Chains A and B, each alone.
Chain A
């Protein structure tokens, strides 16, 4: 492991240095200890931007917002964004709820989808 990573910590904010074979074997490590933290994603977003890919950077910033959304819900939002699954207003509601949960970038993506789905006939009829 290279030195740059010594201060890393997981989504649980537990230092990665505490995630060892011993602690795993003792059952003291949860999947959240080996999940990425939003701060790390924001840092990586800045690295991507500095390497000629603002889109990857935006993606990582959206990802940072999604870290706090539980797995099942993440999969639910994906499902909602598939064609004909949601009415335009369903999507606007989803966007509002994302906004209120500290996910404004994802919310904006959902609003954009809603507008385009409406125009292109990809939304479920109201």
Chain B
């Protein structure tokens, strides 16, 4: 039996996570396995004849592809000769430009780049990422899925994600056959939420391509790469089939990126004793070699494998940096949930969040965890307000924005009715009013008992059989009266003709401007350079819906105003030994009517008076006008009091018992944590003041205990309340208040 302290620690959620002893044989090592090759490059007659200590005769398929396409031989000699430390320092040196690093890295082998980036410490990774990401403006991607492939909920949730600022939405299916229905529903919802949101539906490669060809999705991402030949082939692909697929998407004007991530090979038992980071270096090198514009990495599905070993979380971020250094779009993981611990998952994301990346999350679960058909994300719908608050805290653009909650309801209504009308128009299916109403309101699919699981399957079958394309969806939207959305979806199709969004790190802003390496290149070069949110964007970041001003608080207080307190003129000095004065602050009876605990000030006064009465004392309410300080207020009241005892009460509910011969800051009893003071405690305070007046023994009052972040919850209110108190204070003498 362990001791209580240890049992208590064992119960914490972090101990649900798996932590692995590093094991090189299993590939369970983040950086620098002793079996990682020594970087080398031999070029003979314009051909690579040795790559990272391996001669051409022994090249596997990955080496072969990288050797043939992935190394810029014009700079290779210079790049490979660079001292690792010198190269590592370039990443954080503001005097070395991003483009210079990109130029050099193009000539580096996977092992060389891995060794260099391994040298960067966490804080240096943050600087390097700030500088090396391709696009100047950061962004974010959402997952929108649900357990039942409910088209109405998919649409409502896609509109919601777009409203919160996500510029890419990724959906997938629990039932493969549903995929075309999901793609259409999410695309419609996204178009309701905002112009220019890219949509993908992650499924098996061939079906995904089929949907792309028909315009049903606007980008693709799940083209997986692996760092060993065996795992690559287990995935039923080769570097050449992936290169071809990459060209196939481009040939139809569809944006795509590939997916990789450290730990995948170890998870599949094929790491060949290499470190996760080195294998990922091969993936990233290959991604560049096949001509993909970008990479989703940073563990992805194996993020928890990487984060189970020492340095693993650092390696996830370092993976992303390799992508950036190879001049590719980085969709930086923070996707699959890597820990049960809120602290660990925040810690894993935070450096990337403050550095900024092309997409902070390659799948922020904008929906319920249980509805996420990729599995729960690192960030989920319950975290949206947290994420927004973090953006505000650091003044950082994480790609999200607050949204007007009333507007959100209208958006969800429109998203639901648009899908309903389009499905009816195209003969894809009918939805009941009950289903629609539940989908608009739903926090998740569990809130929609009216949903019918067969509807999406039928819809998808009809789409496949009848050859419906996105042009048909555009027509349906326009004919059903959704001209704006029809226009947005048509514009998205037209973008395929322009091809501007095939470039690295391309997204659309809401005016359909392409933001990419080409049009919005990252120009960070130290303090005062690089991305700065526009004033409008900064206002979005800063203006979360929970923030309150003094005026807001004043209005809130006004809702509780009453006529029960009225002034009857200047207060007098009493000589009655039973007289106890309750000195109240200047805002009482004027502007502040409710204490921080939620009790009305008049209710508090009633309790105090009743407590005094129980002890045979007579309470008298006096408003002290010239001070807002509780000690001074109490002392002023005590000096008017016949018994010499007083109660001081600020409008916010903080209270004390005072005596006229004490100094202002000394007192007999103090209830300092106003939000936690109950009616019973105010009654006891009245009773005890009475006992002090009579000279009998007061009952010890315990300040109530709370483990909540009381200060976080109330300090902003306190500042506003104090401001209001100050605005009510004046030079006039104390006045008697009557409670009626």
Query: Which residues does A use to contact B, with CB under 8 Å?
Result: 1-2, 5, 8-10, 16, 19-21, 24-25, 27, 29-31, 34-37, 40-41, 43-44, 47-48, 51-60, 62-67, 69, 71, 74-75, 77-79, 81-83, 106, 109-110, 112-113, 116-117, 120, 122
Q: How far is the CA of A55 from the CA of B327 in the complex (A)?
A: 11
Task: Say yes or no: A122 contacts B238, CB within 8 Å.
Answer: yes
Task: Say yes or no: B69 contacts A55, CB within 8 Å.
Answer: yes
Contacting residues, chain A, for B504 (C-beta < 8 A): 48, 51, 53, 56
Contacting residues, chain A, for B229 (C-beta < 8 A): 120
Task: Say yes or no: B503 contacts A52, CB within 8 Å.
Answer: no
**Could you say which of A24, A30, A37 contacts B497, with CB atoms under 8 Å apart?**
A37
Task: Say yes or no: B240 contacts A64, CB within 8 Å.
Answer: no
Task: Say yes or no: B253 contacts A35, CB within 8 Å.
Answer: yes
- Quick one: which of A19, A53, A120 has the most chain B CB within 10 A? A53
Contacting residues, chain B, for A112 (C-beta < 8 A): 64, 68, 240
Contacting residues, chain A, for B479 (C-beta < 8 A): 25
**Which 5 A-B pairs give the minimum distances between C-beta atoms?**
A59-B291, A36-B253, A63-B250, A113-B240, A66-B251
| Interchain nearest-CB distance for B162 vs A (Å) | 20
Given A21-B486, A24-B471, A40-B498, the answer on whether A52 and B491 have CB atoms closer than 8 Å is no
| Interchain nearest-CB distance for A36 vs B (Å) | 3
Task: Say yes or no: A24 contacts B69, CB within 8 Å.
Answer: no
Task: Say yes or no: B289 contacts A81, CB within 8 Å.
Answer: no
With CB as the reference atom, state the residue of chain B lying closest to A120: B61
| Interchain nearest-CB distance for B564 vs A (Å) | 63
User: Per-residue 0/1 for B193-216: is the Cβ within 8 Å of any A Cβ (1 yes, 0 no)?
Assistant: 000000000000110011001110
Given A1-B512, A21-B486, A78-B248, the answer on whether A52 and B327 have CB atoms closer than 8 Å is yes
Q: How far is the CA of A91 from the CA of B596 in the complex (A)?
A: 77
Given A51-B503, A66-B251, A112-B68, the answer on whether A34 and B493 have CB atoms closer than 8 Å is yes
Given A59-B246, A59-B250, the answer on whether A79 and B291 have CB atoms closer than 8 Å is no
| Interchain nearest-CB distance for A100 vs B (Å) | 18
Contacting residues, chain B, for A67 (C-beta < 8 A): 251-252
- Quick one: which of A1, A9, A79, A82 has the most chain B CB within 10 A? A82
Q: How far is the CA of A24 from the CA of B474 in the complex (A)?
A: 8
Q: Within 8 Å of chain A (Cβ to Cβ): is B389?
A: no
Q: How far is the CA of A56 from the CA of B69 in the complex (A)?
A: 11
| Interchain nearest-CB distance for B268 vs A (Å) | 15
Q: How far is the CA of A109 from the CA of B327 in the complex (A)?
A: 23
Task: Say yes or no: B471 contacts A64, CB within 8 Å.
Answer: no
Given A8-B497, A8-B498, the answer on whether A31 and B244 have CB atoms closer than 8 Å is no
| Interchain nearest-CB distance for A114 vs B (Å) | 9
Contacting residues, chain B, for A66 (C-beta < 8 A): 247-248, 250-251
Contacting residues, chain A, for B483 (C-beta < 8 A): 21
Task: Say yes or no: A82 contacts B247, CB within 8 Å.
Answer: no
Q: How far is the CA of A52 from the CA of B251 in the complex (A)?
A: 21
Task: Say yes or no: A110 contacts B240, CB within 8 Å.
Answer: yes
Contacting residues, chain A, for B497 (C-beta < 8 A): 8-10, 16, 34-37, 40
| Interchain nearest-CB distance for B506 vs A (Å) | 11
Q: How far is the CA of A47 from the CA of B586 in the complex (A)?
A: 70
Given A41-B251, A56-B293, A113-B240, the answer on whether A31 and B70 have CB atoms closer than 8 Å is no
| Interchain nearest-CB distance for B729 vs A (Å) | 59
Contacting residues, chain B, for A52 (C-beta < 8 A): 99, 102-103, 106, 327
Task: Say yes or no: A29 contacts B240, CB within 8 Å.
Answer: no
User: Per-residue 0/1 for B341-377: is the Cβ within 8 Å of any A Cβ (1 yes, 0 no)?
Assistant: 0000000000000000000000000000000000000
| Interchain nearest-CB distance for B466 vs A (Å) | 14
Contacting residues, chain A, for B521 (C-beta < 8 A): 51
A sample of 16 inter-chain contacts (CB < 8 A) reads A16-B498, A21-B474, A24-B475, A31-B214, A44-B499, A47-B503, A53-B288, A53-B517, A55-B289, A59-B247, A59-B290, A62-B247, A64-B251, A65-B251, A112-B64, A117-B61
Given A58-B69, A59-B291, A62-B291, the answer on whether A79 and B206 have CB atoms closer than 8 Å is yes
Q: Within 8 Å of chain A (Cβ to Cβ): is B469?
A: yes
Q: Within 8 Å of chain A (Cβ to Cβ): is B500?
A: yes
Q: Within 8 Å of chain A (Cβ to Cβ): is B77?
A: no
Q: Within 8 Å of chain A (Cβ to Cβ): is B487?
A: yes
Q: How far is the CA of A21 from the CA of B530 in the complex (A)?
A: 39
Task: Say yes or no: A44 contacts B478, CB within 8 Å.
Answer: no
Given A53-B327, A81-B241, A109-B240, the answer on whether A63 and B61 have CB atoms closer than 8 Å is no
User: Per-residue 0/1 for B429-471: is the Cβ within 8 Å of any A Cβ (1 yes, 0 no)?
Assistant: 0000000000000000000000000000000000000000101
Task: Say yes or no: B490 contacts A24, CB within 8 Å.
Answer: yes
Q: Within 8 Å of chain A (Cβ to Cβ): is B60?
A: yes
Contacting residues, chain B, for A21 (C-beta < 8 A): 474, 478, 483, 486-487, 490
- Quick one: which of A29, A31, A43, A106 has the most chain B CB within 10 A? A31
User: Per-residue 0/1 for B126-161: is the Cβ within 8 Å of any A Cβ (1 yes, 0 no)?
Assistant: 000000000000000000000000000000000000
Contacting residues, chain B, for A120 (C-beta < 8 A): 60-61, 64, 229
| Interchain nearest-CB distance for B220 vs A (Å) | 13
Given A24-B475, A31-B471, A41-B250, the answer on whether A116 and B214 have CB atoms closer than 8 Å is no
Q: How far is the CA of A106 from the CA of B214 in the complex (A)?
A: 23
Q: Within 8 Å of chain A (Cβ to Cβ): is B496?
A: yes
| Interchain nearest-CB distance for B78 vs A (Å) | 16
